[in-house]
Amino acid sequence: MTVQPTVAIRPAVPADAGLILAFIRELGEYEQLSHEVVADEAGLAAQLFGERPRAEVLIAEVDGIAAGFALFFHNFSTFLGKPGLYLEDLFVRPACRGHGLGKRLMVRLAQIAVERDCGRFEWSVLDWNTPAIDFYRSLGAAGMDEWTVQRVSGDALRALAEGDSGNA
């Protein structure tokens, strides 16, 4: 007789800031973007658990051991006139995959979206990450191929904020 592991999904608490940072670093490594991870524990704690939290985190555990996380926040759809739930990051440690943690995290996020009367639940995925894309499709997700992500960051963000955005 095989013993099934106990899986739990729980909201993160301030004491989890270091764990969340560890997950972010592991995700950065997996996505070959480690060089872009500049977050620190104190900054994360302030942003996630401070006076005005900017995002929320769910922690997935297997037999009481942290195995994965999902970081999400609300956005707003003017067309729907409702909030949306945006999943920024979902990561399950490779050694913990195969227990349905990713699906459980996605189900819990969908439940939160429904409980909070969100009009949609969305996220981005790197185009080369076929396992993730296949996983999301298996959950009923549809690609938004007619949309492209636009981003302003770093020096370009500072220049735009100063009104010096080039030729516009």
What digits encode the pLDDT tens for the residues 23-63? 999 999 999 999 999 999 999 999 999 999 999 999 999 99
**CATH code linked to domain 7-123:** 3.40.630.30
Domain boundaries defined on the chain: 7-123
CA proximity to 92, closest of 7, 150, 165: 7
Q: Is 136 a catalytic residue?
A: yes
Largest CA distance in the chain: 69
CA proximity to 24, closest of 13, 9, 12, 36: 36
CA proximity to 89, closest of 159, 154, 27, 165: 27
pTM of the entire predicted model: 0.91
Catalytic, out of 136, 140, 142, 163: 136
What digits encode the pLDDT tens for the residues 102-138? 999 999 999 999 999 999 999 999 899 999 999 999 9
What is the arithmetic mean of pLDDT over 86-91?
Answer: 97
